[in-house]
Homo-oligomer: A and B are copies of this chain.
């Protein structure tokens, strides 16, 4: 993609130095996040619903049951806002005022269109499984035609989006630096616990054995790395 459209609503207003409209930053956040939050408007009021997503090129896919209200409304082509956020750390400053969180977020605006071609729907469903766990799609029973019919898949073109990142240490006031108050960052990240098998008689497949080394579950983003992203 040549780049994202620079619209007024993707301009990061507060602390613009933490914002970016560079496509790789947006794509990386969408790819690491397992859940996004979809905003839409019902009777003039906002509704925000969490759901899984997957990015394929410059398309973001959503999916679910046809009876999902969120998918039904979004399929009508109304405006949606899709936001994914990854928490990276607790920022503990010397003053209460400067306490913060380290995070990376992507905010995407667009209109969804429904994917009706069954081959494209099946490809999208494979992408969802691969997004959650690479290698998984090839290990399982593929979708039957009836299952594809019973799944609504939406596609949103990602051309109007921005990312915002807060990383690194607390930013204390100069006059607070000499206070005898411990300050620093407590980095956080998602980890996997041991699998809870539904099929204890079967060996763990490669996708499961490899899962702990996926970037989103690996040693976590070092504070220095996050700082470099900001």
Contacts and interface: CB of A to CB of B under 8 A. Distances in A.
In the complex, the 4 A-B pairs of residues with the closest C-beta atoms, listed nearest first: A39-B46, A39-B48, A187-B193, A37-B37
Nearest to A221: B193
Interface of A: 9, 13-15, 34-35, 37-42, 44-50, 52, 64-65, 67-69, 79-83, 85, 87, 89-90, 92-97, 99, 101, 103, 105, 107, 109, 125-126, 128-129, 132-133, 136-137, 139-144, 147, 151, 169-170, 172, 176, 179-199, 202-205, 207-208, 211, 217, 219-220, 223
What is the predominant secondary structure among interface residues of chain A facing chain B? mixed
Contact of A85 (B37, B68, B107): B37
A217 to B, nearest CB: 7
Contacts of A105: 50
A140 B93 contact: yes
